[in-house]
Structure 1
């Protein structure tokens, strides 16, 4: 009888998810939405983002409803740009309140980014319970501004806890696709006669990483027959990179974009990539050794993300200001010549709890909605 009543209660859950701009703020929300659908198929879900952000394309593609507010970011803007962004906030809050009034959500979940600011504030004014996710080790501006008005703050790095009110903080990790956790629970692929290197620079690629890898190939001649590269270049550098591998005689699968990232992680022995929040979470969940090259601009949050993995012995880091072909080749050769260090990453116990990050965030949302017993923080 109790289970039946609980099922009836949970079936009425309505969740609004807000955040966007980049994949790091969009994909965690999608992971949570899919997990909630898995647990409660009748759950009502709505995303709130902008017309200009990454979410405008990805959220509808994933089959979810997206409503938008007109808001702009503050970073890297002059006085005029910041003034215009500030002027838009009141209307964005008003628009968000109207959307929330129409949907009547039990909880609002924010994934960070500038669009989450007016929506989370509107939820606070409407007295709707809120959970915000801080995906980076160094907290972003939006979450710093709303830290005192939200009910729970889900963090992805233990070191982030000191930046927020302790009574609100819950360590969940970053919600990502379940496939990455599955990869981390199976033995690594047998290297045999080939070591698979995966290179990624984000959905648009990273020209500096692309060029450094091609410049590194002459220093890797002794390993030519041992290495197999899978390289996501982005659309702009595709031909140059493909020709670079061919010219140097290295085996490589060169792709403009990788659709099935978990599949590529599963066969990779080493990953060379940026250090965005989602990428770092995927590396940790799948237990892949990596060479991280943080995106150098903005508030250095990728550098802080990368340092967290370096401190745990899970990765090496090259700052982009020092990146060139020889430095990258030396770092790659160091990994190849120290197989015990790479093997240790495989051997490390998976840091995640028995529940995935998405499951833990869903639990928080259901607790705040009164659908499950509220556990102490």
Structure 2
């Protein structure tokens, strides 16, 4: 049971990256348009995030400091400031999208316009971040996010042709869609699996939980189990959409369409399960992105930080947290569509990925911080291969977005 609970930090971190509001639609859209043709992207992404999350967790456990805390010290204030500005902008805008996602779920459940729910969602997120203990928050929302497994179960009730899904995964079907759109979705999905705030949150969470060298096994277990769970949930979304919609090329633009596979499989009970799952993952992602924004700012400027620390002792950290939530609300009040916002942020995130992951690889090889716990030969080889993929995605993101008009 202790090992099971140890995975919840990884699960909550993965929920924010693999199955947030944008991915609920993007993964289903990928399945509807290309079947299982993007399954390999999730495989590459989960290998990459596991490798770098393990490094970030090891850094936190051995040094007692979070990744961003060491970036400024290791790379200098100017490079770290560029990283901070880029990551904070992307994270706050993603936070806005997640708050909008919670509001869209409440709209699906109530029928009321989602903009009426935005202040309610923001207040609820703020209260949890302000009052709930970190470990309780991690376990409640990490485990609640597993409700999305209802999509995997739905595959057993739908008329699933498993052999056809396997063929689609091996040979992508792009007829009528185009390779440009295929690769655009591939880059967006990859960016979602290795979002920068995932490792910020994971390593800072390790510090919040007071990881030490004795906790290295739990840190590694959390990364190597939690993130694959998130990938499995995202894969389930792709698969159910592939079964129900592919190759009809039905455009998916709303949560009601994303939920349709479980509605077909289980009726009204399925809809209730989907609403619960959508709420859990979007609310969990909002918590993660809100904390990540505050973690990055506080660690760069050397402020006292931590959800475990009272607002009186860490006033600037909690102020940044509150301001970030309010900025998210202001963005949504422009009436921009939360799903569209997240899709744009995935592309911007893809561009910024090297600035996040290269410093982790550098610090993980620095004996000043890790002593004998630095990366081994095989870990460095894997990290280097993943870095090449990250750089390739970063270079391709903008041309693909422009050339395909955001995958259209």
Band the TM-score falls in, shorter-chain normalisation: under 0.3
Question: Which structure shows the bigger proportion of residues in helix conformation?
Answer: 2
Which of structures 1 and 2 has the bigger CA Rg? 1
Higher RCO (CA-CA < 8 Å; seq separation 6+): 2
The structure with the greater share of residues assigned to strand is 1
How high is the TM-score relative to the length of structure 2?
0.24
